[in-house]
Structure 1
Amino acid sequence: MPKVKKESKSPERTYQELLVNLNPVSQPLASRKLSKKLYKCIKKAVKQKQIRRGVKEVQKFINKGEQGIVVLAGDTLPIEVYCHLPVMCEDHKLPYIYVPSKVDLGAAAGSKRPTCVILVKTHMDYQEAYDECLEEVQTLPLPL
């Protein structure tokens, strides 16, 4: 009698399922539609090597004055790992946004590991997608 494998998790979780694990500080949060646009933009940026990933690297380049969109994962715990980044973004006038899943963020960046923060820089090859994301991110209200 063959053993039947148990399915631990379905690989595709819905947007609503991902919202359950969000941190209380995850504002402004990208909608499902905007999340998909951001993931596509990140995938294009990876091909051109125009991203910075990870808290230390993103923090270093924000301090150096690099411009772009900062995308943070809303399900990162503990919050203290990256809670200083939104403040840094506001100080340097960088747009930032939260997406629901660090696993999806890492996958969009072409990594097998989850990623809690990515800085997407602008580039000619995906300028239209970048501008569209930037416009939508800037229209969202910042938390108080």
Structure 2
Amino acid sequence: MKQSKKDRKPSEVVAERDKGEALAGSSDKNVNEEEILYVSPIAQPMASSKVTKKIRKLIKAGLALNEKTYVRNGLRDVQSSIRKKERGLVIFAGDVTPIEVMCHLPGVCEELDIPYVYVNSRQVLGSALGIKRGSLMVLLKRHESYGDLYDQVVKVIDSLPPPWS
């Protein structure tokens, strides 16, 4: 028997609302519910699980080049790279707290026409980078060896609805 909103705990109602908002941005319905609970409300556009898998492949391909210039990791490194006019694809973690640490960067990316997308958690980015800790953000630059996959991901990200609509 389904409980009414009055009978449920407030945290359950908030979790249900957040789950619905997070799923609205992704086309896949089989997203881990626990990850959705911690996603920030400003984390739009959110990558679906298929796009997240492609992003993980891109990050691993960039790391396989053994050149630090194609994959930038972390708040300080990505911020300085964007300030130095480096272009690429920016992937943000959606579960960053406090969000004020990085909430200005999507606006900077929009001003500079840099494509960006959010993934569910920091752990997704950390595991793709091969580190045990999570990562707040990653900047990926295009390389010839994985250029086709890079172009596919950028095309999908550009087709996602903008956060202000």
1:53 to 51, 73, 98: 73
Alignment of 1:33-112 (within 5 A): 33-48=50-65, 49=67, 50-112=70-132
Number of residue equivalences? 131
Superposed displacement of residue 95, structure 1: 0.4
Report the Cα distance in structure 1 between the residues aligned to 2:55 and 2:34, rounded to whole angstroms. Answer: 19
5+ long unaligned stretches in structure 1? 1-13
Give per-residue Cα distances to partners, 1:23-54, cap 9 Å, x unaligned.
Answer: 01100000111111111111111112311111
Contact 1:37 / 1:133 at 8 angstroms: preserved in 2? yes
Superposed displacement of residue 91, structure 1: 1.1
TM-score using structure 1 length = 0.87
2:135 to 101, 111, 115: 115
Q: Of the two structures, which has the highest relative contact order with CA contacts closer than 8 Å and spacing of 6 or more?
A: 1
Report the Cα distance in structure 2 between the residues aligned to 1:65 and 1:109, rounded to whole angstroms. Answer: 23
Q: Partner of 2:145: helix, strand, or coil?
A: helix
Q: CA RMSD in A?
A: 1.1
Report the Cα distance in structure 2 between the residues aligned to 1:16 and 1:38, rounded to whole angstroms. Answer: 20
Superposed displacement of residue 64, structure 1: 1.1
5+ long unaligned stretches in structure 2? 1-30
Q: Does 1:127 align with 2:144?
A: no
Give per-residue Cα distances to partners, 1:46-86, cap 9 Å, x unaligned.
Answer: 11231111111111111111111100000111001111110
Report the Cα distance in structure 2 between the residues aligned to 1:69 and 1:100, rounded to whole angstroms. Answer: 17
Report the Cα distance in structure 1 between the residues aligned to 2:75 and 2:162, rounded to whole angstroms. Answer: 21
TM-score using structure 2 length = 0.76
Report the Cα distance in structure 2 between the residues aligned to 1:86 and 1:19, rounded to whole angstroms. Answer: 20
| Structure 1 residue ranges (4+ consecutive) displaced by more than 6 angstroms after TM superposition | none
AA in 2 matched with 1:128: D
Counting aligned pairs with the same residue, the percent is 41
Superposed displacement of residue 17, structure 1: 2.8
